[in-house]
Amino acid sequence: MTAEERKAQLELELAREQAKTARVEAELARERAENASLRRQMEQLWARLREVEGQLAKDSHNSSKPPSSDGPGRIPRSLRHRSQRKTGGQPGHAGHSLLQVASPDEVARHRPLVCCHCQEPLEGVVGSLKERRQVHDLPAVRLLVREHQVEEVRCPSCQQVNAGSFPAGVEAPAQYGPNLRTLAIYLHQYQLVPLTRTCELLGDLCDCQLSEGTLIAWVQQAAQTLEPTVERIADWISASRLQHGDETGVRVGGKLYWMHVNSTP
């Protein structure tokens, strides 16, 4: 191989190495740019994560948020301080216990049938009261069915047939009465028992097959009946010199809603 050929071969190999080096440097530059972009994205994600964690960590104890916004997962912190006194009633405290009534609804007498000494029958022998104990309990819960019957009476003088009339509120061949309606509305609206559970509770206790639609209709009817009363209360509140404003969080279907109220003592 001549010197010129050798020189040309070396120049070709040098050009190949330079091209290879250029490709490697371009690849390194591209990777550096990608790494820098990923680093910026990571920094932005970490900043966003810290921001979200900070928002989630806020509650009524470390921010201006109301207690009702804490959510069901918040464990309330007790404001009570540990006391050196024992639990239970303290000396000098006037306790409250179940007291006997003067006129019980029922009286069950328990007397011996025979003498425990000689086995002489004691039936008919007058005894004396030794001790009284009372058990306060609920009676058996069941629906009382009252049937209303309309009669026809023929006048003996003119032979006119006269018919009676059903009292107000008796409108169907079979219906539930006002006491059961009141209890159902009270449980659902005041005690906040859900619709389904209110119907189940009344079914278990009173053996009545109450549908959710019927309960909703009762609630709507009660709202219409109480509308004048509610308006009158609102007039009294608006005329009061001092009012208390408050907002209460209510969760419906997992979403937080706000109920704003004005009230007076």
How does pLDDT run along the chain (265 residues), one tens digit per residue? 688 878 788 888 888 888 888 898 999 999 999 999 999 999 999 999 988 888 877 777 777 777 766 766 666 666 677 777 777 667 777 767 889 999 999 999 999 999 999 999 999 899 999 999 999 998 888 899 999 999 999 999 999 999 999 999 999 999 999 999 999 999 999 999 999 999 999 999 998 999 999 999 999 999 999 999 999 999 999 999 889 999 888 888 888 899 898 888 8
Sign of CA dihedral 190, 194, 196, 197: negative
Alpha carbon distance 262, 257 (integer Å): 17
Phi, psi of 259 (to 5 degrees): -110, 120
Helix (H) or strand (E) holding 256: strand 255-263
Q: Quick one: pLDDT at residue 81?
A: 73
Q: Residue 207: which of 185, 180, 232 has the closest Cα?
A: 180
3-state secondary structure of 162: strand
pTM of the complete model beyond 0.75: no
Q: Which residues in 12-23 are b (16+ Cβ under 10 Å) and which e?
A: eeeeeeeeeeee
Q: Quick one: pLDDT at residue 193?
A: 95
Q: What is the DSSP string of 25-75?
A: HHHHHHHHHHHHHHHHHHHHHHHHHHHHHHHHH--TTTSS--GGGS-TT--
Q: Quick one: pLDDT at residue 248?
A: 85
